[in-house]
Structure 1
Amino acid sequence: MNTIIYIRVSTTEQAELGYSLKAQEETCLEYAKRNDYNVLKIFKEEGESA
């Protein structure tokens, strides 16, 4: 199955608590591999919420 990955952090605190973009990407890629998903693209959003 083809899929995409969308990851984001909105605050510095989230990154410090282990929700960094890198950690999210690794988790998603591991999940995709375990479930035989073909990752077509990874979208990353790093910014602040309103």
Structure 2
Amino acid sequence: MNLRKVFPAAALLAMTTTVTACGAQESGLETGVKTPKQVTMNEQQAIDRAEEIIH
């Protein structure tokens, strides 16, 4: 095989693998990665929590 044909194909494969792995990690699809729980609170609860953190 010609090196001029192999190098671009290998580079494309490496870039595709990297982008796919990063996308899976951010989505929580990677094995062992847990997605955080979504916490909802009202405005008063948020104010109280902020004051707790400050003090």
Of structures 1 and 2, the one with the larger relative CO (CA 8 A, separation 6+) is 1
State the TM-score, normalizing by the size of structure 2: 0.35
Structure with more of its chain in strand, by fraction: 1
State the TM-score, normalizing by the size of structure 1: 0.38
Structure with more of its chain in helix, by fraction: 2
